[in-house]
Amino acid sequence: MPGNRLESSNMVLRAAQELFPGAVVALGMGLPCHLPFELPASGGVWFIADSGALGYTGQDNDGVSVDAGGSLVAMLPGGSFTGVVDVAGILRGGHTDVAILEPSQVSTKGDFVHWTTEKTAGLFAPGSAVDMAYGSSTVVAVMPHQGPGGRSNIVEKCTLPVDGAGRLDLIITDVAVIKVVASGLELIETAPGWAAEDVISITDAPLSVSSGLKELTVDIPAIVPPNKVYPSAVDALLDVPEGSVINVDGFAGPGGMAHYLMVGLRDLGVKNLQLISNTAGVARVSAFGSPNIIDHSILVENNQVVKATASYPVSPSASRPSAFEEAYNRGETDLEVVPQGTLAERLRSGGAGVAAFYTPTGVGTLLGDNKETRTIDGKDYVLETGLRADYCIIRGHKADTLGNVVYKGTSRNFNPVMATTAKVTVVEVDEIVEPGQLGPEEIITPGLFVDRIVVRPSDFSAYLDI
Amino acid sequence: MISVPDNPSTNGKLYPSGKDALEGISIGDTVLVAGFARCGIPQKLLQALSEIEVSELTLICQGAWVQESTDFTIADLVATGKIKKIISPMPFHPVYGGLVKKAWESGNLELEIVPQGVLAERLRAGGAGIGGVFLPSGAGTRFAEDKEKRLYDGREHVLEFALKADYALLRAEVADTLGNMVYQATSRNWNPTMAMAAGVTVAEVDTVHEPGGIDPELVITQAIFIDRLVLSD
């Protein structure tokens, strides 16, 4: 006779062993929703729900915030709210480290059925499980090993329509932990008192037994949030490799540009950069703001730029070309011209896991040349692809130490969308505050998008000495 | 906060009742309804809709899977028989069922199931003038059946088309008379996306300020998307 089965609270706690400092953790309906109720309130990971709650705990409730299952929760200091379309982008766009789901059935191949049962077989209940499964780095199933009548929930091939094909990485049940590997399912842990044979005997799918098979525990290490605050621009950009693609706001005028980080990039001297930006540095020739404002030109003049993707790459004055134009005319740089809205949409797509989209902008013009066109409901569209970057440098007004950012006035422009597109997002702000000092409804860029924060020194000038 | 005017035409977007605010809604229309669980649901507008002589409506919404609600919900509207079809990621609770499940089982209600992020993205596309999007979600499942697929970065992506509707019923805690809106907590959910994706957008709000009463940095749904406002009580 094997040992007891795990209670559902312990099944869920085992899933917490898959978390790590700063992890973005999406929780689906059912058992996964219990995790923030079982763990102490801590800002070490970002629990996110498809209701739009980012960074919450179940240890309290504020009367107005709900999780994926509709239960009341409370925001942690530094938590924020967003809408469902942006949650989908967080799930699908590669921003989620771990997704935890409760499927009703899973297969040898890692397929899963989410919440559909024989009683609702003609219907599916995907909720957000599909987006969670297709966008997260690791997908964990938490579910009872057997259903009603002792039938195995783990099968060779799902008997109900699947919500995710081959998407699962790990299955945690009330008697075992099973890894989905290329060759099938591998038993890696068993509940106390359960031998491998006991688990195999109640599983309707082949299980290989790991040579490192061990007893399932629910010990949870304390998780503290990673430090994101860097002492200087140069420190925050030290690892930028040659040839990187870098997003920088670059809207004309002084507002939204990360001047301090740009100077850091210039001081580091890293070469062959490809900039994605609204302009390619025209402020100094078109007198937006001031003729000596810092912009892309400092990187171009330092021979660091090999390509710009921009919507306003040239100066409005033919007699006063920008540094980028001069370099382009000398054959030193490449240029990709993208209309502003298309640039914004391509960045948004890159950040939200949309590979490509049909936009009406530019159809029948040079900007649509050599691109696929398609007529949808009688209207012509051109196909554009998502854009991503290696680094992104953002200009915010204030950030908290978890990386939540607010902007001031029109300096917002490209910054929030760009913050979603890069492998490493670095933000420059006037002031860093403690989590909780920015209101959860006020935060524009949630901290889960931000990796590094620097304060723009109070004596820093955005103007060159000329 | 200001009071409801007697004549809505003198105060722009503010309408005296839910019924007035829904004027023009017609047989066979498609209606977006915001809300997630018990948050951000335009209850007064749903109730008004149930009292209007209209039928064969298609609703696009999160679903009616919250059990303990005593408020007027999608399920109550379905019970009136005015609804032909619901497009939703989870129209009813798979375990607990309810009125929507009953209507579906008796053949009186059609259901189209779309994963939540796909539905949100299709509405966003509709609202932002995008014709279609290639998404990774649902590749290899029946959500991708009979749809065009392409490989990007070696992964299969599925073409999903934009979605728009005739009306959108929204809910916000605070608005100004121009229609700028802010939401409390998880009441935001579908509201900002649906606000962009309908011919006529009607918002039920708890408090209305004069223009300038909401900090411009805090506005989530901009007034240009909102056609009509009605106070929740």
Does residue B108 carry a pLDDT above 60?
Answer: yes
The answer to whether residues A266 and A285 touch, using CB atoms and an 8 Å cutoff, is: no
Percentage of chain A lying above the pLDDT 70 cut: 96
**Which residue is listed with tokens 């009683």?**
A119
Q: In this predicted structure, what is the pLDDT of residue B7?
A: 45
* Domain limit, last residue, from A183, A215, A247: A215
pLDDT band of residue B3 (cuts 50, 70, 90) is low
Residue A3 lies in a domain: no
Structure tokens at A85: 């379309």
The ipTM, to two decimals, is: 0.95
> How confident is the model over A96-104, as a mean pLDDT?
97
Q: What's the pLDDT score for residue A118?
A: 73
Q: Residue A121: which pLDDT band, with cuts at 50, 70 and 90?
A: low
Domain boundary residue, one of A187, A215, A243? A215
Provide the pLDDT for residue A243.
Answer: 98
Q: Please indicate, yes or no, whether residues A178 and A264 belong to a single structural domain of this protein.
A: no
What whole-number distance in Å separates Cα of residue A57 and Cα of residue A159?
36
Give me the residues paired with residue A73 across strands.
Answer: A65
Q: In this complex, which of A91, A130, A359 lies closest to B130 when CB atoms are compared?
A: A359
Q: What integer pLDDT is reported at residue B163 of this predicted model?
A: 98
- In a domain? residue A189: yes
Cβ–Cβ gap A356/B150 under 8 Å: yes
Q: Which residues contact A439 (CB under 8 A, 6 or more apart)?
A: none
Distance from CA of A452 to the nearest CA of B (A): 24
pLDDT digits (tens, 9 = 90+) for A206-262: 999 999 999 999 998 889 889 999 999 999 999 999 999 999 987 766 678 999 999
Which pairing describes strands A72-81 and A105-107: parallel, antiparallel, or unpaired?
Answer: unpaired
Q: How confident is the prediction for chain A on average, in pLDDT?
A: 94
Domain that holds residue A206: 8-215
Q: Which 202-221 residues of chain B touch chain A by CB within 8 A?
A: 217-218, 220
CB nearest to B130's CB, from A29, A131, A357 = A357
pLDDT of B11 higher than 70: no
Q: Chain B 26-45, CB below 8 Å of chain A: which residues? A: 36-39
Closest partner residue to A83 (CB to CB) among B65, B153, B193 is B193
- Pairing label, strands B165-176, B198-209: parallel
What phi, psi does A443 have (nearest 5°)?
Answer: -65, 130
Q: Does residue A126 or residue A201 have the better pLDDT?
A: A201
Taking the CA of residue A185 and the nearest CA in chain B, the distance in Å comes to 20
User: What is the reported pLDDT for A84?
Assistant: 97
pLDDT, tens only, A159-210: 988 999 999 999 999 999 999 999 999 999 999 999 999 999 999 999 999 9
Residues A196 and A242 reside in one and the same domain: no
Kindly list the residues from chain A whose CB atom is less than 8 angstroms away from the CB atom of residue B142.
124, 161-162
Task: Flag whether A305 is in a domain.
Answer: yes
Are residues A164 and A71 both part of a single domain? yes
Residues with Cβ within 8 Å of residue A119, at least 6 apart in sequence: none
Q: Which of A24-28, A181-185, B33-37, B95-99 has the lowest mean pLDDT?
A: B95-99
CB A35 within 8 A of CB A115: no
Instruction: Say whether both A185 and A321 belong to one domain.
Output: no
Percentage with pLDDT > 90 across chain A: 85
Contact A145, A185 (CB under 8 A): no
- Say if residue B203's pLDDT is above 60: yes
- In this complex, the residue of B91, B120, B152 whose CB is nearest that of residue A84 is B120
**Residues A75, A154: one domain?**
yes
Q: Residue A273: inside a domain, yes or no?
A: yes
Residues A438 and A329 occupy one common structural domain = yes
* Chain A residues close to B38, C-beta within 8 Å: 66, 70
**Contacts with A293 (C-beta within 8 Å, 6 or more apart), sequence order:** A254, A257, A259, A283, A284, A462, A463, A464
Assess if residue A221 is contained within a domain. no
Residues of A in contact with B117 (CB under 8 A): 50, 84, 87-88, 91-92, 128, 130-131
- Please compute the mean of the pLDDT values over residues A419-425 and round it to a whole number: 97
Which one of A182, A215, A248 terminates a domain? A215
By C-alpha distance, the chain A residue nearest B153 is A355
Q: Do A162 and B142 touch (CB under 8 A)?
A: yes
**Closest approach of A1 to chain B, Cα-based (Å):** 32
The total number of structural domains that make up chain A: 2
Q: How far is CA A82 from CA A102, A272, B32, B113, in A?
A: 24, 37, 19, 23
Q: Is residue A460 part of a domain?
A: no
For position B10, what pLDDT does the model report?
41
- Please tell me whether residues A364 and A246 are part of one structural domain: yes
User: What tokens were used for A269?
Assistant: 């001297």
| Of A51, A45, A74, the residue nearest A61 (C-alpha) | A74
A52 and A99 in a common domain = yes
Choose the weakest-confidence range: A126-140, A300-314, B3-17, B93-107.
Answer: B3-17
Mean pLDDT value across residues A408-428:
96
Asked if residue A426 lies in contact with residue A401, where contact means CB atoms within 8 angstroms, the answer is no
B66 or A438, greater pLDDT: A438
The reported pLDDT for the residue numbered A286 is: 61
Q: Are residues A349 and A304 in the same domain?
A: yes
Instruction: Give the model confidence (pLDDT) of A54-69 as tens digits.
Output: 999 999 999 999 999 9
Residues A365, A374: Cα–Cα separation, whole Å: 15
Domain B25-113+164-231 CATH (choose: 3.90.550.10, 3.40.1080.10, 3.40.50.12160, 3.90.480.10): 3.40.1080.10
CB atoms within 10 A of CB A151: 11
CATH at residue A148: 3.40.1080.10
Cα dihedral A361, A367, A371, A375 sign: positive
Size of interface A-B (CB pairs under 8 A): 204
Which of B37, B120, B157 minimises the CB distance to A355? B157
Residues A196 and A270 in one domain: no
Structure tokens at B123: 């509405």
Q: Note whether A169 and A244 are same-domain residues.
A: no
Query: Are residues A135 and A282 both part of a single domain?
Result: no
